[in-house]
Amino acid sequence: MARLIALVVLVAAGAATFLGLRPPDPVPADTPASEFSAERAFPVVADIAREPRPLGSAANARVRDDLTDRLTGLGLTPRVESPLGNVVATLPGTAPTGQVVLAAHLDSVPQGPGAADDAAGVAAVLETVRALRAGPPLRNDLTVLLTDGEEAGLRGARQWVRDGLDRTTPTVVLNHEARGVSGQSLLFRTSPGNAGLVHAMRAVPHPAGNSSLVAIFRLLPNDTDLSVVIGAGRPGIDSAFVEEPEKYHTAADSPANLDPASVQSQGSTMLALARELGATDLAPLDPTASGLPPQPDAVYFPLGDVLVTYPVAWEWPLAGLAVVGLVVVAALARRRELLTTRDALLPGATSPLPLVGAAALAIGLWQLLLVLRPEYADRPFLDRPVPYEVATVALAVLAVSVWHVRVRRRVGPCAAALGAAAPLAVLGLLAAAFVPGAAFLTTWPALGLVIGQALSVATRNSTAATVLAAVPSVVFLAPFAVAAFGIGGVATPIPAVAFALLGLPVVAVLDPVGRRAAALPALALVVAVGATAVGLA
């Protein structure tokens, strides 16, 4: 019964988390004029993304002319900045402390029409300006920056930062991108010293993205226009939607494949940030321009529609608390004779094994696929990745369940559960040291498990406490594990390790024993083999 309750609670937590990750429904065109409507923006996307428009092409020139006309129609006075063809326009504020820049790139790669990358961003900028014009004027200046030659080496952005960006005007650049054709628009990168920017993010109605993505972005072979801005020591926020990455930079990045909900997510986020920053004193946010002292960094992540933020300086004490708490609970459990010192050491010392095992199995699967399907080597994102993703998850479950069953048989459920929390707590410490902003991903799951085990030891009743204990693991690690497929597809072992991290606490809570314990690894193996076969077929 207890296990059934555990399963129901965790599935419900997972379902609620995933529902929260879906982009909002597109807002229809008859909504009030001061709101962002994807239905109003979409015809502009379709018009821009009729054909590829790389730097210097005739289509590129057509789109530039079209965009200057549209900006003029919105009451702005656009100018085309040579030698490249950036389109720039400014809407003066009532009492400006600086300027908020809405940026997107008007060019595309030659291989495809770039509906998501970045016609969607350009159309969202226009629709946001239209919505802003329908409301009361902003205090700060608003600058529209549609760069050219982004796909040819961020050339438009380099020109604008060199020639167009005033050194003494406090400026915040909001840049808009895509690395897929669907999903929520993620606030995935900020300039360093982001406390003020993160404060402004709290105005976003359905905030998405978190401070761990900043570190992950550095692992990717991608760059955006914001890199040039940050390189010049100026502040900004990058946002992008990233799902279905196999369509990115291909002919499939078309208006037909673009999810209007992603345009809504991008636009709602942009409009909220523009209004918030448009009313904010920008001087403290841009120390390079204002000469004010730099701001600290902040951790940020959404829980439902609330953006949780706290100083990065808190990551160390929180991660330390998880490690100390783990040791204290183990000592308490020992005093209550739920485990011996040796019992506690075995799962603690061997808990990295399921992570290493999951990585090894995932690498093995990919090598096998390369032998059977050599053409996969050219592209990390397969056209139909789902069967292989299922196989990857099953391999992670296999690694975790084999470890859990063996360890639990030797040392019992309490020590096994504490062992499952150990890698999460240690990774929190490592992240606090080496990946600032990312420690929350494993620290809160570890703290949840520690508190759950403490309650379970204190009351000698494990049901309610251990179930609640694993909810933070699901809330934080399930979206991370799924998103890990977007980093390098199934070609990297990162998703397998992420699912093993999620699987450790979940399997510990469900705590299969007896026949069920033997069945779980077998079931995982069957699913892995079956899903791989389906993928190959």
Binding site for Zn ion (CB under 5 A): 117-118, 177
Q: How far apart are CA 157 and CA 86, in angstroms?
A: 8
Cβ proximity to Zn ion, 81 vs 238, nearer residue: 238
Q: Is 110 helix (H, G, I), strand (E, B) or coil?
A: coil
Nearest-approach distance from CB 108 to Zn ion, in angstroms: 8
Token pair for 15: 């379902």
Cβ proximity to Zn ion, 251 vs 533, nearer residue: 251
Nearest-approach distance from CB 241 to Zn ion, in angstroms: 11
Nearest-approach distance from CB 213 to Zn ion, in angstroms: 16
Q: Is 55 exposed, middle or buried (0-12, 13-18, 19+ CB in 10 A)?
A: buried
Q: Is 367 helix (H, G, I), strand (E, B) or coil?
A: helix
Q: How far apart are CA 193 and CA 285, in angstroms?
A: 8
Cβ proximity to Zn ion, 217 vs 440, nearer residue: 217
Whether a cis peptide bond, with omega within 30° of 0, leads into 118 is yes
Phi, psi of 513 (to 5 degrees): -130, 165
Cβ proximity to Zn ion, 98 vs 156, nearer residue: 156
Nearest-approach distance from CB 451 to Zn ion, in angstroms: 43
Q: What's the per-residue H, E or C state across 153-169?
A: CCHHHHHHHHHHCCCCC
Nearest-approach distance from CB 393 to Zn ion, in angstroms: 30
Q: How far apart are CA 504 and CA 148, in angstroms?
A: 47
Cβ proximity to Zn ion, 118 vs 141, nearer residue: 118
Q: Is 266 exposed, middle or buried (0-12, 13-18, 19+ CB in 10 A)?
A: buried
Task: Report the DSSP pairing between strands 186-190 and 236-241.
Answer: antiparallel
Nearest-approach distance from CB 486 to Zn ion, in angstroms: 15
Nearest-approach distance from CB 320 to Zn ion, in angstroms: 40
Q: What is the largest CA-CA distance in the chain?
A: 78
Alpha-carbon distances, residue 73 vs 129, 130, 253 (angstroms): 11, 10, 28
Cβ proximity to Zn ion, 118 vs 127, nearer residue: 118
Nearest-approach distance from CB 179 to Zn ion, in angstroms: 8
Cβ proximity to Zn ion, 177 vs 243, nearer residue: 177
Nearest-approach distance from CB 22 to Zn ion, in angstroms: 23
Nearest-approach distance from CB 64 to Zn ion, in angstroms: 16
Cβ proximity to Zn ion, 81 vs 117, nearer residue: 117
CA-based end-to-end distance of the chain:
40
Nearest-approach distance from CB 218 to Zn ion, in angstroms: 17
Q: Express the helix, strand and coil content of the chain in percent, nearest 5 each.
A: 60, 10, 30
Nearest-approach distance from CB 383 to Zn ion, in angstroms: 21
Task: Report the DSSP pairing between strands 141-147 and 99-105.
Answer: parallel
Gyration radius of the chain over CA positions = 25
Cβ proximity to Zn ion, 217 vs 366, nearer residue: 217
Strand partners, 88: 79, 145
Cβ proximity to Zn ion, 156 vs 387, nearer residue: 156
- According to DSSP, residue 462 is labeled -
Q: How far apart are CA 221 and CA 310, in angstroms?
A: 29
Cβ proximity to Zn ion, 396 vs 487, nearer residue: 487
| Nearby residues of 325 by Cβ (< 8 Å), 6 or more positions away | 425, 447, 450, 451, 454
The residue number with the shortest CB distance to Zn ion is 117
Cβ proximity to Zn ion, 149 vs 448, nearer residue: 149
Q: How far apart are CA 474 and CA 481, in angstroms?
A: 10
CA 506 to chain centre: 22
* Residues 396 and 528: beta-carbon distance below 8 Å: no
